[in-house]
Structure 1
Amino acid sequence: MTDTMEQQIVRGISQAELDQFNRDGYTIARGLFDAEEIERFREHYMQLNAEGTHDGDYAGVEGGGEFDPLKQYPRMIHMHRWDDLSREFLLDPRVFDALNALLGGDPYAVQTMLYFKPPGARGQAVHQDNFYLRAEPSTCCAAWLALDVCDADNGALMVVPGSQTWPLLCTVKADTSASFTDVTVPLPDGVSPVTMTMQPGDMLFFNGQVVHGSTPNSTDDRFRRSLIGHYIQGDAEKVSKFYSPMLRRDGSEYSIGISEGGGSCGVWVDRDGVPVIEDQGLEGNKLEHE
């Protein structure tokens, strides 16, 4: 086998990327989407935002207390259920092929999310995705696409390498002056997240147990937009009802058992910790947050 073949082992994932995913719980596929595709995504979601609220926005421009940039640019969730381009992204063969290589088999697609993260917006305290998805007995995996340059200044995603081996951690109260959600997980002494510096078109894949989050966007003029697909491993037997029905690679629907708890990936709160809008996931998720 040539060096080139060794580096590009299966379906676009190199041996180095596979090794990093297995070791650290994450890897970045650089330039998986091209500049034309990224511009199409940016224009599309900015237009959807300008049109007003849609199903799954979970926020709006009114209410919520003091000024918050996220009121004008609330995140979107489950767009694939009503938006063709979002569904196309979620089922993109390149993403499925990469996940197949990383996970050892095709996953099921369960969620889309769009974070605008405008200048001045708070970040999200460190957390684990499977706290919300509750895929059992395995876990979920995120495919996080950068639509802008992502760095420490505009609140790039940060991950804790190796935390894919951790169990789901008990949550504690977050600092809502810096996080738009009100819970976080404590980190052991000496453990710090690593900033994922990314270019538009790069895609970060990370295991659902991996602890990750972001700091506020401290810039005056730069968005940190990201388009995310969430998937669960093909051997999962249960998932939170918020994520059902799931989709196979071909777009057909599939259902499995319902796990307890879970929710919509955090409740948006103001800087005093008061919910801006109620979590539309399961009641059990609210109880575990209290």
Structure 2
Amino acid sequence: MTPTTPPASARAARYAADGIVQVEGLLDPSEVDAVRTAFMEQVVRDREALAADDGLAADDVLSRYPRLMQPHRRPGLEVGSIARRLMTDPRLLDVVTELIGPAYGAQSMFCYKAPSARGQALHQDNYFLLAHPETCLAAWIAVDDCDAANGALAVVPGSHRMEVVCPETADAEQSFTSGLVRPPAGLDVVQTVMRAGDVLFFHGNTVHGSLPNTTRDRFRRSLIFHYVPRSSVEISQWYLPLVAPDGTDVTVAEATGGGPCGDGWAGSAH
């Protein structure tokens, strides 16, 4: 079973029930090609400019193809202008608004997931963003066709109703991140299958993750945005300033406290 695209009139109801909505073909092939080309050129030319600090070994394929964080803040780079433009694209924002109301952009991120790369253990996004009083919403854009073999997302429909929890320790052979959130009892992990240009929208409390890319020749690239309702009053400082639909920056208060892991918790980029 995989999430299916509901008609536009049913998207909000699907999101309320499952915390997940898949929209097929939101970006056309030429746009996806441009995204893929720009980010591949960036990682070859200068991967350190935007690379996440994931503490990876030099021989880890994820060091060669690291997550690129917050490219929308670098408009002088081609990948930056692409990310900022798509973050505020009406096609994305229209769906975001249907699901959570008027919103601001909070994060952009590009993942390469080259062949043999580890996955990311099941987790919840708002553990990192600490958006309040509502949670964040992810828009996960498939830049390649993806399925279980090359490490497509797995999601837990209905888990958006659970609170954000402090993670357990993940299996380091399977996940490049250390946290693991187990699905609530009675809810199943569902494997997604997506085509390039499809977008998966999901609630910030929804449990999701991915297994390693076991293929020899297929990347699983993705461009991800996170949004928060305009009613948000605070968010983790890493995600400030927020971005309004017209592209201008917006500031709210920095989140205080340690989140679900207590005051000793040190938040970092998702």
TM normalised by structure 1 equals 0.83
Does structure 2 retain, via aligned residues, the 8 Å contact 1:59–1:71? no
- 2:122 aligned counterpart, secondary structure: coil
Would you say 1:18 and 2:34 are equivalent positions? Answer: no
* 1:253 aligned onto 2:253: no
* Matching of residue 79 in structure 1 with residue 71 in structure 2: yes
Match of 1:275 in 2: none
Q: 1:184 maps to what in 2? A: 180
The residue number in structure 2 matching 1:279 is: none
8 Å Cα contact 1:143-1:205 kept in structure 2: yes
Q: Within 5 Å, which residues of 2 pair with 1:133-212?
A: 133-212=129-208
**Where in structure 2 are there 5+ consecutive unaligned residues?**
75-79
Q: In the aligned structure 2, how far is the partner of 1:248 from the partner of 1:283?
A: 32
Name the SS of the counterpart of 2:113 in structure 1.
coil
What aligned pairs does 1:237-252 form with structure 2 within 5 A after superposition?
237-252=233-248
The one-letter code sitting in structure 1 at the alignment partner of 2:95 is A
Larger radius of gyration: 1
Give a deviation string over 1:220-248, Cα, whole Å, max 9, x none: 11000000011111211110000001011
Residue 261 (structure 1) shift: 5.6
Deviations 1:56-99 (A, max 9, x none): 31259xx8437321111111010000021111111111111111
SS at match of 1:37: helix
CA deviation map 1:82-120 (0-9, x unaligned): 0211111111111111111111x2111011000000000
> Given the superposition, is the C-alpha separation of residues 164 and 182 from structure 1 closer, same or farther in structure 2, using an over 3 Å criterion?
same
Select the residue among 94, 97, 121 that pairs with 2:94: 97
* 3-state SS of paired residue (1:53): helix
CA distance in 2, matches of 1:246, 1:170: 25
- Aligned counterpart, 2:77: none
| Structure 1 segments unaligned to the other structure (5+ residues) | 1-6, 264-281
User: Aligned-pair RMSD on alpha carbons?
Assistant: 2.3
**Aligned-pair CA distance for 1:188:** 3.5
Would you say how many aligned residue pairs link Structure 1 and Structure 2?
256
Cα distance change of structure 1 residues 55 and 261 upon mapping to structure 2, 3 Å threshold = farther
Distance 1:260 1:86 in 2: 28
Identity %: 40
Counterpart secondary structure, 2:21: strand
Structure 2: how far apart are the matches of 1:116 and 1:22? 30
1:285 partnered with 2:266? yes
1:248-279 Cα distance to aligned partner (Å, 9 max, x none):
1001111111113679xxxxxxxxxxxxxxxx
Alpha-carbon distance change, 209 to 188 in structure 1, aligned in 2, over 3 angstroms = closer
CA distance in 1, matches of 2:191, 2:99: 21
Q: Deviations over 1:135-172 (max 9, x none)?
A: 01101000000010110101100111011111011211
Distance (whole Å) between structure 2 residues aligned to residue 189 and residue 44 of structure 1: 42
